[in-house]
Amino acid sequence: MGISSPPNNSRCRIAVVGGGIVGVCCALYLQRDGHSVAIIDPGGPGEACSSGNAGQFVTGYCVPLGLPGIARDVPAMVLDPLGPLTIRWPYLPSLLPWLLRFVAASSPRRVDAIARALYRLNKDSLIAFAPLLEQAGAEHLIRRRGRLDVYQSERVFAKAQVKFDLLRRCGVQVEILDQKGIRELEPELADRCPQGAFYPESGHTTSPLGLTRLLAEDFVRRGGDILRERVTDFRMGGDGAWSVITDVARHPADQVVVAAGAYSRPLAARLGSRLPLEAERGYHLMLPQAGIRLQRTVVHGDRYFGLTPMEGGMRLAGTVELASVHAKPNFARAHALFEAARQALPSLNGQGAVPWMGCRPSMPDSLPVLGRSPLHRSVYFAFGHGHLGLTGAATSGKIIADLVAGRTEDSRFKAYRADRF
């Protein structure tokens, strides 16, 4: 089975390389325009990084990973293998070009521009998801209850004002809460966390993997194909059409979308674009008997972890590890995350905890690569969303579909261009 020709000659055969939440949303929005679409991925939909994310739709969130002063922290990142942001030191020589760009992007001027570009992408997150959720019957997996950040230390809370100010300047609604306000939202946290910030426009899913699977099932139900194959190369024919070459077959396509997350760099290189994409590896623990009850995602500002109530328990997520996409997991990081969380919340129960690691696709300026390839008009990129992949997935899919259909101009998305470096 390959990519069949659509009945209408004005429509295209489109190969979407990547079956995570971003790729599935791209495929669905393209399918809504009448194109014949196939998702090509060696795994099942959502089984890689999309299965283990923190489940957050952080509407409008626009704080980049690199903030002013981050350069001073790089030595500590290398030396502390269990810190909230760490680098595998054997990988440092390979990572150095990325790090130099990362530090350059952390200047105050660049941070402000990056934040505004992130806000434009993420401000309509749940709005862009709405038609896809309704079409797939997946609304029951979404909770629109906001996100709560809590702080124990007045010093850390005062330092976070820089982040709150940046978010407000971009247009994100941030409500500062005292202990009473926190108790009204999450009674079990108020005694230990007397100050906080609430993002009322945000939400979460109770099953990231279940959400991606339901969307993918709807895609198939409406005529889409999912090919469990590994893409190895691309060839353009004399007529401008593509052959997408996999470990199984060659698939003809009029248009190609690369949305393979952290595995997109070699695919983009095959298409002539060499990009500074690295793996921002994240860890989580699934706590089946967490011992606390929460109504929404809670992020602890002092201890750098987040808790999201999901089907099957509480997901404890956090930390960033910069390392090769092929490096073995260091699950000590996941268990260190639990120890940090238990120091803040002593009643947290780790019995039966299941660890996980996944590779987020990370660009040094925290902006995704999104839009048309600078070298091929019939190739589109949608990857590099870092820790905001779920938040930006549906909007990214809509942007790709609008570009393919000519409803919008490439010039609107200069901030996300592949050749910006």
C-alpha angle 163-166-170 in degrees, rounded to nearest 5: 140
Q: Which residues of the chain have pLDDT under 70?
A: 1-2, 4-10, 77-78
CA 280 to chain centre: 10
CA dist., res. 191 & res. 179, Å (int): 7
Place of tokens 């760490």: 86
What is the structure's pLDDT at 7?
56
| Two tokens, residue 61 | 């969130």
Parallel, antiparallel, or unpaired for β 242-246 and 250-253? Answer: antiparallel
Supply the pLDDT for residue 2. Answer: 67
> Helix 125-136 vs helix 21-32: angle between axes, to the nearest 10 degrees?
70
Question: 259-311, pLDDT tens digit by residue?
Answer: 999 999 999 999 999 999 999 999 999 999 999 999 999 999 998 899 999 99
Which are the contacts of 264, defined by CB distance < 8 A and separation ≥ 6?
18, 258, 275, 277, 361, 369, 381, 383, 384
Residues 122 and 60: beta-carbon distance below 8 Å: yes
Q: What residues pair up with 233 in beta bridges, in sequence order?
A: 245
Contact 327, 300 (CB under 8 A): no
Residue pLDDT, tens place only, 37-47 = 999 999 999 99
pLDDT at residue number 73: 76
Please, which residues have CB within 8 angstroms of residue 268's CB and are 6 or more apart in sequence?
258, 274, 275, 277, 369, 381, 383, 418
What does the pLDDT read at residue 156?
A: 94
pTM of the model: 0.96
